[in-house]
Amino acid sequence: MNLLSVKQLTKLYKGQEVVTNLSFDLQKGECLGLVGESGCGKSTLARCLLRLENIDSGSIFFKDQAIENLRHRQLIPFRKDMQIVFQNPTAALNPKLKIKDSLLDPYIQYQNDLTLRYFSYTSKEQFVLQLLDVVGLPANLAGRYPHELSGGQRQRVTIARSISIEPELIILDEPTASLDVISQAEILTLLTKLRQDLNLSYLFISHDLAAVKQLSQRIMVMKKGTIVDQFPCDELFDDQRHGYTKELISIF
Ligand SMILES: Nc1ncnc2c1ncn2[C@@H]1O[C@H](COP(=O)(O)OP(=O)(O)OP(=O)(O)O)[C@@H](O)[C@H]1O
């Protein structure tokens, strides 16, 4: 079943096409990798899918509903189902909020629309402890501020926030790019486990072909705003790969 279906999406900035006539499907439960060099339009695409930007033409279907023209109030249930994890966890967390309050924030915002399946909410304290535990963080971090955590711990908190309201799809926009190699590997392992345990779907955006291969079932390669190649992960090294995919492979 297609969770997300994008048809001929085009986005312009100041008259210039940044995403051009782009189409793809993302199935429920899969991780779809998106690779491409800096500036090819990956983050723009992510913002369009989340409806943080309007698109210029084309369609975005989420759970078979066309969402490209929905207005603010109509987007509320959809926003709950589609979350994003950004590259920089420091910028994503409010420095003035303790970790426990950051973790509770999405729940408080969406509680009237939520039917939790995986987590249970009997008290604030218990909910925060569940979230910390599921992303492998100790309970005593709840009372700390973001600057008192390591970069890897902060990224775990942003991941915990994104899964707290049990979305269907998470867009991972370079989630490990700001981390050291060991933290990167740990976060990738965590993301794999969460996808399986919570039946999540991911659009995993990265420069790092090795990371994309580790996490994804299928890979899309983007160049100058268009998808030039799309294939199952185990066909990455096949001879029929697009020349640009081969170039990316040779760099890694
Ligand atoms: N708000 C904006 N206004 C004008 N141009 C923009 C805006 N946001 C992005 N761009 C331009 O759109 C193009 C694509 O940028 P985008 O950030 O989507 O690329 P990217 O593939 O995500 O790059 P990176 O991997 O470096 O994050 C770039 O040329 C960028 O300068």
Could you read off the pLDDT of 139-179 as tens digits, one per residue? 999 999 999 999 999 999 999 999 999 999 999 999 999 89
Averaged pLDDT, 18-28: 97
The pLDDT of residue 77 is 84
Distance 124 CA to ligand 1 centre (A): 39
Q: pLDDT, tens digit, for every residue of 2-16?
A: 999 999 999 999 999
Cα-Cα-Cα-Cα torsion 214, 217, 222, 228, nearest 10 degrees, comes to: 130
Averaged pLDDT, 100-110: 96
Indicate the pairing of strand 169-173 with strand 82-85. parallel
Q: Please give the Cα distance from 174 to 166 (Å, whole number).
A: 21
In 3D, which of 233, 235, 240, 237 has the Cα closest to residue 248? Answer: 237
Indicate the pairing of strand 31-35 with strand 16-27. unpaired
The pLDDT of residue 131 is 98
Averaged pLDDT, 80-91: 93
Q: Please give the Cα distance from 203 to 100 (Å, whole number).
A: 27
Residue to mutate, 22, 34, 44, ligand 1, most ligand atoms under 8 Å from C-beta: 44
Query: Is the CB of residue 44 below 6 angstroms from any atom belonging to ligand 1?
Result: yes
Q: Please give the Cα distance from 165 to 107 (Å, whole number).
A: 6
Query: Is the CB of residue 13 below 6 angstroms from any atom belonging to ligand 1?
Result: yes
Averaged pLDDT, 185-206: 96
Q: Please give the Cα distance from 166 to 200 (Å, whole number).
A: 8
For residue 35, give the amino acid letter.
V
Residue to mutate, 12, 43, 176, 224, ligand 1, most ligand atoms under 8 Å from C-beta: 43
The pLDDT of residue 55 is 97
Query: Is the CB of residue 35 below 6 angstroms from any atom belonging to ligand 1?
Result: no
Distance 44 CA to ligand 1 centre (A): 6
Distance 100 CA to ligand 1 centre (A): 33
ipTM of this complex > 0.90? yes
Is residue 6 within 8 A of residue 66, CB to CB? The reply is no
Question: Which residue is closest in CA terms to ligand 1's atom 30?
Answer: 39
The pLDDT of residue 178 is 87
Percent of the chain with pLDDT strictly greater than 70 = 100
pLDDT greater than 80 at residue 183: yes
Query: Is the CB of residue 22 below 6 angstroms from any atom belonging to ligand 1?
Result: no
Q: pLDDT, tens digit, for every residue of 234-251?
A: 999 999 999 999 999 998
Query: Is the CB of residue 206 below 6 angstroms from any atom belonging to ligand 1?
Result: no
- Please count the other Cβ atoms lying within 10 Å of the Cβ belonging to residue 93: 22
Q: pLDDT, tens digit, for every residue of 27-71?
A: 999 999 999 999 999 999 999 999 999 999 999 999 999 999 999
Averaged pLDDT, 210-220: 95
Averaged pLDDT, 106-112: 92
The pLDDT of residue 186 is 95
The pLDDT of residue 251 is 84
Q: How far apart are the first and last CA of the chain?
A: 33
The pLDDT of residue 70 is 94
Q: Please give the Cα distance from 230 to 11 (Å, whole number).
A: 20
Query: Is the CB of residue 11 below 6 angstroms from any atom belonging to ligand 1?
Result: no
Q: Please give the Cα distance from 113 to 107 (Å, whole number).
A: 10
Query: Is the CB of residue 216 below 6 angstroms from any atom belonging to ligand 1?
Result: no
* Ordered structural domains, the chain, with CATH: 30-51+72-251 (3.40.50.300)
Q: Please give the Cα distance from 252 to 247 (Å, whole number).
A: 9
